[in-house]
Each structure stands twice: as structure tokens, then as C-alpha cells.
Structure 1
């Protein structure tokens, strides 16, 4: 194909499409013209790619088509109202809707942690197989407590936030596969159980719970929610109900993405507690009370705000206008 001749023949249409795509408002006739030119230029791009794939021309036509598509479909800017609706309706409704999953995950994980801890106390060889006696003495004596004051408060809070967000993201991202979620969750739960068992074995249980509970109540709840959402995502294509597997997975995936965004804020709060409250000089009872208050507020958020939103018809999914089309199914 003679590329120069092809350009000379069609460049007028490309420039006209570029002109229309750059306008903020179009008349009815101009809108029809834009759609017609969009189809024509799409064909031109396909011809160029197959017959004479000049990189600069392909890039130019792709850019023009992208701007034209944006003009034709329009866009909706995110507003403060959207953000407010997310945290007062969408996110709490999604948490309430999935409550049975994450409550069951929470109870099962806590029971497993205590079982592992009790088993480790009765089998102290599990500690000596992983650590030397000197390392055990250092961990129990100073390292466990020093962990929370090793870095400046703001740096430690940020590190904790990023680490916990990574664990939560893994649980949700791996949800489609199912078993990896259980593996990530089990690793964290078993680690907490063994650490608790070690501290209890050396009569440092009060210190362990005094440092874990202030931030751990909310932090672990967020991780359990993430794991449950991941497992629900897995179940959505195993047992899709009346919907197709793809539609079921898409719907739960959108909800999971929203919950993941909300958990970033929850983990930010727990990270702030771990960075500033846990290592503070406050009495143990006061630090634990702050953790209990934070956990209580979270449950109130779910079962008061979330329940109200769910009863109003909010599902936690994105608005219907933002969803992809799906085929109708029999009831």
C-alpha cells in the first residue's frame, strides 16, 4: 500500500474527527458526524496496522480515536458527594451484606490462633526448633516490646499500614483462586498464635495482650474482612446462583474492589493506633480501651449505618449505569 497516498486521501477526515473530538459541546448533526467519522477512522487504523504499520501514524490515529470516544461517551467526574455516598452507603452496605462471611472468618481465625497458642505452650519444642534459647530470651525480654518503639511513631504507623494493606490486598486479589487466601490467612493467624504461646510460656502474657489488643482488634478484623471477601469472590463463580458465572464474578468483583478501598481507611486508623497508642506511655487499660472503642465504632458503622443503607436497597455494587451489560437470566 502507498502510505503517502492513503494519508493524502483520508487526512481530511482524520483532522475533522480531531476537531470534533476537541469540542466541549456538539450539535445533533455534529454528534452524528463524529460517530460516522469514528467508524471510518477505526477502519483506517485497522488498514494501516495490517498493511503499513507506521508507528507515528498508528499512535496519532489511536490518540484521535481515544479523544473521540471520550467525547462520544462522556465522563462523570467524581465529586465530594460521591465520596460521601461511598462511606455512608456503598462501603458500609457492602460490609453488612458480607457480614456472615467475615464474622465466620473472624471467629474461626481467633479460635485457630488460641488453639495454636495453647498447643505451642504444651509443646515448647516448637519454639526451640525455630529459635535459639538466646533468641527466645531476647524476644520475650525486650524485642517484642521494642518492636513497637523501634521507629518514630509516624514512620512506624506508615510501615504497619502498608504491610497490613498488602496482606489485605493479597487476600482479595487471590480470592478468585480460593485456596491461596486460606494460606495467607493461616500464615498470619498461626504466627500470632505461636507468638502469643511463647509469651505466655514465659509469663509475659499480660505484656503480649497489652500490646496486641489496642490496635489488633481493628487491624485483624480488617484482615478477616479482606480474607472473607476473597473467599466470597471465589464462591461467586463456584456457585453463581441464577446468574452466569461471569456476571456473578463481575458483580462480586466490583463489590470486592469497593471494600478494598474502604479497608485502606480502616487499616489507616489501626495503623495510627499501632504507631501512636500502642507504644505510648498510657496505662495498659487505657490503651486497650482505645482499641475496644475503635472496634466498637467499626461494628456500629457496619450494623447501624450499613444495615440502614442495605435496607434502603444499597448493595455495595457500583451504580447500574456504571455496570457492564449482562444477559437476562431465568428467575
Structure 2
């Protein structure tokens, strides 16, 4: 009986020593592309990139199959991912990238934030309901919730005729486009703050969202006693179905980041925040587009359409469009 030859010892240090020069060279080239420009690479370096990428993938495959140390595998995975995006991530023309954002990227990112969206929606309308009952029980609270500049005379002492005119009267702006721009700027600031403050464990985001909900409820507490609650709902909803949806999405994006910071799981806190931030930023790009639509509706359609039925028709149509888009679009995407 012939004894089998002993299996050669596979040492991780030998494996690394044979290939480490290629890894370092690939890392150097990727740093140049990411921090400076692909134009900084010479012709030989450009030709070397695919070869070094394939060599790194081969090393990663061997490292996984032979169960080398986890640190080396993690390093090779990260290096391979960076090289993949440099080599293949930007080959699509910008038109296809934009189409991909609308066909899959944005609605998929929104759907992934469903828990935060539900929390933000409940919080917003709960704050509105609480403020409505608070102001109805004690009108002095109205001034604490609604700034004078925002109220513009629509307060607890306003007459029915004045409030009715604010809903159905002819536009008094010298230029509706200026009004639309100002409203868009205001709403964009709220949404960006709600998103950006998510890094502070989402506490400021929650407070800002509750404040905006409270302002809505306080305003209804002014109009409802005059029999104008239905009219105010139509006046607000013509743009509000888009605007409030955008603010809720921005707040949900901030909450998503805050949750990652507070509960990073097995990841490092900064890594978890960065990963959540990329997804939330994708949502925020779409939020800006929604606010542009809301600004147009608020500055033009709300001022030019003064019949409740038409206002509710526009509001319902916009709400149906957004819900259908975020619910249905992009679900068959594979890639």
C-alpha cells in the first residue's frame, strides 16, 4: 500500500505575496480615477485596469474557496466592487441613467422606506389633529403655532367674509410665477431640513414634521367654525397631496438615516449612516421634483381654479398618480 503524498500547505501569506503588487496597483489607479479624473491615466494604465480587475476577481474566488482570512476577503471584495463601478458603472448614457432613475431607482427607494413613511404619515396627521383640538379649546394657542407672517390675517379674529375671500377671491399677486417661486423655496427648505437633520438620531426631523402638521391643524381650527372647513381642504389639497407627500418622504428619508445611526446593527455607525444616506439621497432627488410640481400647483392652479369640485379633482388625480407610481412602477426590474 502506497501512502498518499501530503497535501501542500496553502499559506495565506504566500498567496498575498504573489498577488499583492497587482492589488496595490489597481488600488492606486482607482484612487486616481475617483479623486482626480480618468484622463490622468496613461494609455498603459487604462489597458491595465481590466487586467488587474480580472486578476483581483480571480484572487477573490480562490480566497473564498480556500477559506482564507476574512480580512483579506473583505479587502478583495471592496476592491473588486470599486473597480466594477469604475469600469462598468458609467457606461450608460445619461438619458438611460435618468430613465432608470424614474423607472426603478426612485420608486424602489421609496418602497424600501415604507416603515418610516408610515410613521411619518401618522405623526404628521396626529400632530394636525392634536393642534386642531388644542386651538379650538384654547384659541390663544393659535399665535404660538402659526407665525404672523404666515397667517396673513387668517387668525381667530378674522371675519367669515375675509376668510371666504382668501379661498375663493381673485388672485391679488402681481405675478403668480413669483408667488410660485417663493412657495417652492419655502417648502424645499422644510423638506431639506427634515432630511438633513435625520443624522441627529432623527429627533429634529420628528419635531419639524410635527410642527408642520400642527400648523395645518391650527389653520383648520380657524376656518371650520365659519363653515369653511371643506373649502380650506380643497384650497390646500390641490397642491397639498403633492406637497405633503414630498415633506413626508423627506422626513422618512431623515428618519431612515437616524435609525441607521441609532441602530447600526453589525456595521460601524458611520458605515450604516453612509449606506442609509445613499438610499435616502435617492429619495430626496425625487422629493425636489415633487416640490417643483407642488410649487406650480400652489402658485398657479390653486389661484386660478376657485371651484371646490375642480380643486378636489386635481388633488385626487395627483394623489392617484403618486400612489400608483410608487406602488407599481419598477417592481419587475431585475438587475
Judge same fold: TM > 0.5, yes or no.
yes
Q: 1:145 to 1:252 in 2, by over 3 A?
A: farther
* CA distance in structure 2 between the aligned counterparts of 1:191 and 1:134, rounded to whole angstroms: 12
1:99 aligns with 2:122: no
1:110 is matched with which residue: 114, 118, 125? 125
* CA distance in structure 2 between the aligned counterparts of 1:152 and 1:133, rounded to whole angstroms: 22
Tell me the SS of whatever aligns to 2:264: coil
Q: 1:255 to 1:127 in 2, by over 3 A?
A: closer
Q: CA deviation at 1:225?
A: 0.9
2:181 is matched with which residue: 133, 151, 158? 158
Q: 1:117 to 1:76 in 2, by over 3 A?
A: same
Structure 1 residue runs without a partner (length 5+): 1-20, 33-72, 314-331
Structure 2 residue runs without a partner (length 5+): 1-36, 49-85
Q: 1:140 to 1:96 in 2, by over 3 A?
A: same
* CA distance in structure 2 between the aligned counterparts of 1:29 and 1:185, rounded to whole angstroms: 51
* CA distance in structure 2 between the aligned counterparts of 1:22 and 1:288, rounded to whole angstroms: 53
Deviations 1:288-307 (A, max 9, x none): 11111111111111110144
Q: CA deviation at 1:146?
A: 6.4
Q: 1:265 to 1:134 in 2, by over 3 A?
A: closer
Q: What is the TM-score when the length of structure 1 is the normalising length?
A: 0.67
1:213 is matched with which residue: 223, 229, 237? 237
Q: CA deviation at 1:30?
A: 9.2
Tell me the SS of whatever aligns to 1:137: coil
* 8 Å CA contact retained: 2:156, 2:222: no
Q: 1:291 to 1:144 in 2, by over 3 A?
A: closer
Aligned residues: 251
Corresponding residue number in structure 1 for 2:268: 244
Corresponding residue number in structure 2 for 1:174: 197
* 8 Å CA contact retained: 1:96, 1:307: no
* CA distance in structure 2 between the aligned counterparts of 1:258 and 1:268, rounded to whole angstroms: 16
Corresponding residue number in structure 1 for 2:44: 28
Instruction: Tell me which of the two structures has the higher relative contact order, counting C-alpha pairs closer than 8 angstroms and 6 or more residues apart.
Output: 1
Q: What is the TM-score when the length of structure 2 is the normalising length?
A: 0.66
* 8 Å CA contact retained: 2:261, 2:273: yes
2:157 is matched with which residue: 136, 144, 147? 136
* 8 Å CA contact retained: 2:250, 2:284: yes
* CA distance in structure 2 between the aligned counterparts of 1:295 and 1:83, rounded to whole angstroms: 23
